[in-house]
Amino acid sequence: MKSMDSMLGAHPPTIGVADGTSSELPAGRLRRVTQYIQENLQQELRLAELSALVHMSPYHFARLFKRSTGVPPHRFLVRCRMDEARALLEARAVPIAEIARLVGFRTPSHFTTTFRRITGMTPGRYRSGAGAAGGESASIAATADAFDVIRGGVIERARSQTIGWGVDGS
C-alpha cells in the first residue's frame, strides 16, 4: 500500500480571513476521527457521530475535514472501506458477501456497485487477479499518523464521483 505522502499532495493551510487563524481541523482531532473511522468501518457512521467525537457541529466539522484532507468525510469513509475490501479480496480467504458486511455494506449488491464505481471493476474480477496483480491495490485512504506530517490534497481516484453517506444507499 502507498504511504499517505504519495496519496495526498501537500497544500498550504487555509487561513481564516476574518481572524487569521487556521481553518483546518487540528491534527489531534483529525487523527481521532480517522482512527475512529478505521476502527468502525463495519458500522454505519453518521456525520453527526463523527463531528461529536471532536466536539463540533456537523457542518463546521465537514468543512474543516475537507479542507484538511481534500475530500469530504463521507468520501473518505467510502475510500477507507474500499481499501479494506481490496486487502481482503487480495487475501482470497473471505467470500465477497462476507467482505461486503465486514466493510460496512448491508448488501453484497451495494458493495459491488460501489466497488465498481471506485475501482472500475467488480470485486470478483479484482480478486481473480485483474486488480490485485495489476498493481491497483494502492491505498486510497489515510493512516491516522500521516495526518501529523501531510495535510490535505486531492486523492486522484474517484475524484468526480458522488457517493451517498449511508452505506445502505440512503
Q: DSSP string covering 72-136, please?
A: -HHHHHHHHHHHHHHHHHHHT-S-HHHHHHHTT-SSHHHHHHHHHHHHSS-HHHIIIIITTTTT-
122 — pLDDT class (breaks 50, 70, 90): very high
> pLDDT at position 23, please?
84
d(CA 13, CA 31): 17
Please determine, for residue 103, whether its predicted confidence score (pLDDT) is greater than 50.
yes
Within the chain, which residue ranges are assigned CATH 1.10.10.60?
A: 77-130
> pLDDT at position 129, please?
83
> pLDDT at position 29, please?
95
**144 or 77, which is more confident?**
77
Tens digit of each residue's pLDDT (9 = 90 or more) over 9-42: 444 444 343 343 568 899 999 999 999 999 999 9
Please determine, for residue 75, whether its predicted confidence score (pLDDT) is greater than 70.
yes
At the topology level of CATH, where does 4-15+23-73+142-148 sit?
Arc Repressor Mutant, subunit A (1.10.10)
Tens digit of each residue's pLDDT (9 = 90 or more) over 126-161: 999 856 555 444 444 443 333 333 333 333 333 333
Q: Does domain 77-130 have CATH number 3.40.50.800?
A: no
